[in-house]
Structure 1
Amino acid sequence: MDRPDEDLLASAGDGAGPRRLLGVRQAIALIVGVVIGAGIFKSPAIVAGLSGSADWMFAMWILGGLISLVGALCYSELTTAYPHPGGDYHFLHRAYGRSTAFLFGWARFAVITTGSIALLAFVFGDYMQQALPLTILPDGWGAVAYACSVIVVLSLVNLRGLRTGAGTQMWLTLAEIGGLLLLSLAAAFFTDPAPAAAQAQAAAPLSFGMAMVFVLLTYGGWNEAAYISAEVRGGAAGMVRALTFSILIITTLYLMVTWACLETLGMQGMARSE
């Protein structure tokens, strides 16, 4: 007798499965929006302090992009061979069985996704409290109010349906990309270049490895494309284009932001910045 878990997996592969409502551009917006988060505003300083020189710093960001591209291409093979809204859960279920997939599902529900949402909401609330302080609340509660509000609002938006959520994500992603581009343009045209520092030694192996941890964390999230693989129009070709263009866009933006920070602050200034 089939288990309910297996019945659910089977039903998603037939006509009862999700409709392909997402175009490639919407899929790109979703992936880019998921990947680009608070990390790019924190990691460049850490990577600069660990890399030892500007050349090594840029090499690390390029290497992170290449590793992510290879991973994304592997995921595109998985998502096109097994398109399913269960994403990673479905892959683990097929490869290792129900128990492993069940543990992953609960870990994702209780720790991974929950913690990620809380972290991003906290960073958003912290910045918003500095930009538009809620003085009517006690100290420390303004950031909490902003964080809770953004979680509730975006949850309600996504509850309205896939089209509404994808459309909102596209506009938010465009705003995010626009902000990063403005930062890079401001560094190029409206600031004086930072004084060149003396050439530093190449990063030690331990420092290189630690820096790559932060680089890859900043690139993390492209695997979320697995959860929309059954809803992207164009099948295999659509998923390959969405993942490839997403990683290329993200890598380009990260390099531009890193260059902008280097041009404005210099290596030593980047390493000391918060």
Structure 2
Amino acid sequence: MGEENLRKRKGEDNRKEDGQSIENDELKTMNLQKEVGLISGTCMIVGTIIGSGIFVSPKSVLANVGAVGPCLTIWAACGLLATLGALCFAELGTTIPKSGGEYPYLMEAFGPIPAFLFSWTSLLVTKPSSFAIICLSFAEYAAAPFYPGCDPPLVVIKCLAAAAIVIITVVNSLSVKLGRYLQNFLTAAKMIIVTIIIVSGIVLLAQGKTENFKDSFKDSKISLSSISLAFYNGLWAYDGWNQLNYITEELKNPYRNLPLSIIIGIPLVTVCYVLINVSYFTVMTSTELLQSQAAAVTFGDRVLYPASWIVPLFVAFSTIGSANGTCFTAGSFAVWIFYGLTVFALIVMRFTRRELRRPIRIPIVIPIIVTLVSVLLVLAPIITAPEMAYLYCALFILSGFIFYVLFVHFKFNWAQKISKPITTHLQMLLEVVPAEEVIE
């Protein structure tokens, strides 16, 4: 009887272990719901890219190149670079169909340390700061109609920005579907103001307002440093071109919808950006645009009066839509370090991971071009205008290595005891589960 009871207990223990193993296997293979289709994916790209940049600071590109012709060329070239970069990410996203953007690609190509440094930088600096800046821009434009003739009080701007951050975070935490509907609505709203500006510009051009385009390359300042800095400013307005890869697992039919969303979305944004700049130049000279604090508002005051209040209202929709897209997917110097490293990972895996299935396979020349341009964009500001801020940024990125060694490599027990239950409860509260458990 003793041996029989012992066998029963062993059998029960084995069943418990098997049950636990099954639960762990279910956790390891759990996937996010696929609820994002082609239209929503395209809206995500357009909605995330088009934010405050094209409405507020086109003068930054103009200030570096000095003339209308090079300015429009830079805007088109930035769109081309964003498209090439996004195509690289499309291959990565369909080869390694995991959410998380750059993280899984860096993990597969280079191992855990570069992937951890990316997460360290993204979660603590680039994403929060970009999100905060966009929400502050929204608050300024949302408050502007209520304070005609003067700047809104700083406390009002901060309160509106904080409210926007809370609302967007809550909406995207509660439901992927709700966040998608909000994004689609805000994208439609911002496309209204984009259409108004573009159509107004075309009408003015048809009426003969072309004097600002004569000798459009005259007095231009063309040099390697000026072009690089102009690209930096233009690409800020295009930032978000890679954001769909953060939700690859939530895409319906990603092998089809990921590249199609990119091919449709980014060229659409590029055309809009070029035409918006053309519209600006129909009513403003280069000097006037450089003196304008917000080109879109100046355009509205001159063309849409007395309905010029429409511009700040819809620009507010545009900026909050960009913030929502940034929050839903999670957006300088640090960003392009990891953009370049991620695209370089594609090149590396072409030789080190030949066995991987690649539903999308782009010509190798494309990632080579994007990698070289990324290196140029990282080095250009350091060479042309060296500042201590770049050193601080590099030191902060490298400081993440210390935390990796302490908390990931050596896995201090006390750190695990604190962080693991916190992580588990947050996953349960927000209904998010990792697609797989990675054990170092």
TM-score relative to the length of structure 2: 0.56
> CA offsets, 1:138-163, max 9 Å, x none?
93111111111111111121122111
In 1, Cα distance between equivalents of 2:102 and 2:213: 45
Matched, 1:196 2:205: no
Partner residue of 1:121?
A: 135
SS of match in other structure, 2:212: coil
- What amino acid is the match of 2:222? A
**Counterpart contact for 2:43–2:187, Cα < 8 Å:** yes
Corresponding residue pairs, total: 261
Distance 1:40 1:90 in 2: 31
Could you say what secondary structure the match of 2:100 adopts? coil
Between the two proteins, what is the percent identity of the paired residues?
Answer: 25
SS in 2 for 1:196: helix
Alignment of 1:93-242 (within 5 A): 93-133=107-147, 139-189=153-203, 193=209, 195-196=211-212, 199=215, 200-205=218-223, 206-242=225-261
Counterpart secondary structure, 2:58: helix
SS at 1:68 equivalent: helix
| TM-aligned CA deviation for residue 132 of structure 1 | 2.4
Alpha-carbon shift at residue 224 of structure 1 (Å) = 1.2
Q: Once the 2 structures are TM-superposed, how far is the Cα of residue 222 of structure 1 from its aligned partner?
A: 1.2
Please report how far the alpha carbon of residue 11 of structure 1 lies from its aligned counterpart in structure 2 after TM superposition: 7.6
Query: For residues 72-111 of structure 1, what are the structure 2 equivalents within 5 Å?
Result: 72-111=86-125
Q: Deviations over 1:56-86 (max 9, x none)?
A: 1111111111111111111100000111122
Give the gaps of 5 or more residues in structure 2. Answer: 1-24, 294-440
In 2: Cα distance, 1:167 partner to 1:113 partner: 22
Distance change in 2, residues 1:25/1:13 (3 Å): farther
Q: Deviations over 1:196-228 (max 9, x none)?
A: 376313432122221111111211111111111
1:265 CA drift (Å)? 0.6
CA contact (8 A) 2:50 2:238 kept: yes
- Aligned residues of 2:212 and 2:284 also touching (Cα < 8 A): no
**Change in 2 beyond 3 A, CA 1:201/1:39:** same
CA distance in 2, matches of 1:240, 1:81: 12
Alpha carbons of structure 1 residues 12 and 131: separation in structure 2 relative to 1, 3 Å = farther
> Structure 1 residue 194: deviation in Å?
7.1
- Please tell me whether the aligned partners of residues 28 and 243 of structure 1 are also in contact (alpha carbons under 8 angstroms): yes
Matched letter for residue 244 of structure 2 = A
Deviates more, 1:71-80 or 1:91-100: 91-100
SS of alignment partner, residue 222 of structure 1: coil
> Cα RMSD (Å) of the superposition?
2.3
> CA–CA distance in 2 between the matches of 1:217 and 1:13?
37
Query: Which deviations, in whole Å up to 9, do the C-alpha atoms of 1:82-133 show, x marking residues without a partner?
Result: 1112221111111222222122212211111100111001111112221224
Paired residue for 2:75, among 58, 61, 65? Answer: 61
* CA pair 13-72 structure 1, distance change in 2 beyond 3 A: farther
**Cα separation, 1, equivalents of 2:128 and 2:194:** 26
From 47, 58, 61, the equivalent of 2:61 is 47
* 1:252 partner letter: V
CA offset digits 1:31-73 (Å, max 9, x no partner): 1111111111233112122223222111111111111111111
Question: With CA pairs under 8 Å and 6+ residues apart, which has the higher RCO, 1 or 2?
Answer: 1
For residue 253 of structure 1, what is the aligned residue in structure 2?
A: 272
**Counterparts in 2 of 1:271 and 1:97: CA distance versus 1, 3 Å:** same
Separation in 2 of the partners of 1:149 and 1:60? 36
Measure the CA separation in 2 of the matches of 1:221 and 1:97.
25
Per the normalisation by structure 1, the TM-score is 0.88
- Does the Cα contact within 8 Å between 1:52 and 1:201 map onto a contact in 2? yes
Which runs of at least 4 in structure 1 moved beyond 4 Å after TM superposition? Answer: 10-13
From the superposition, tell whether residues 181 and 187 of structure 1 become closer, same or farther in structure 2 (CA, over 3 Å). same
Instruction: For 2:153 and 2:59, locate their aligned partners in 1 and report how far apart those are by CA, in whole Å.
Output: 28
Match of 1:173, as an amino acid? T
Q: Secondary structure at the match of 1:201?
A: coil
Task: Say which SS state the counterpart of residue 82 (structure 2) adopts.
Answer: helix
Amino acid at match of 2:179: G
Aligned pair in 2 of structure 1 residues 36, 13: CA closer, same or farther (>3 Å)? farther
Say whether the 8 Å CA contact 1:11–1:17 is kept in structure 2: no
Tell me which structure has the larger Cα radius of gyration.
2
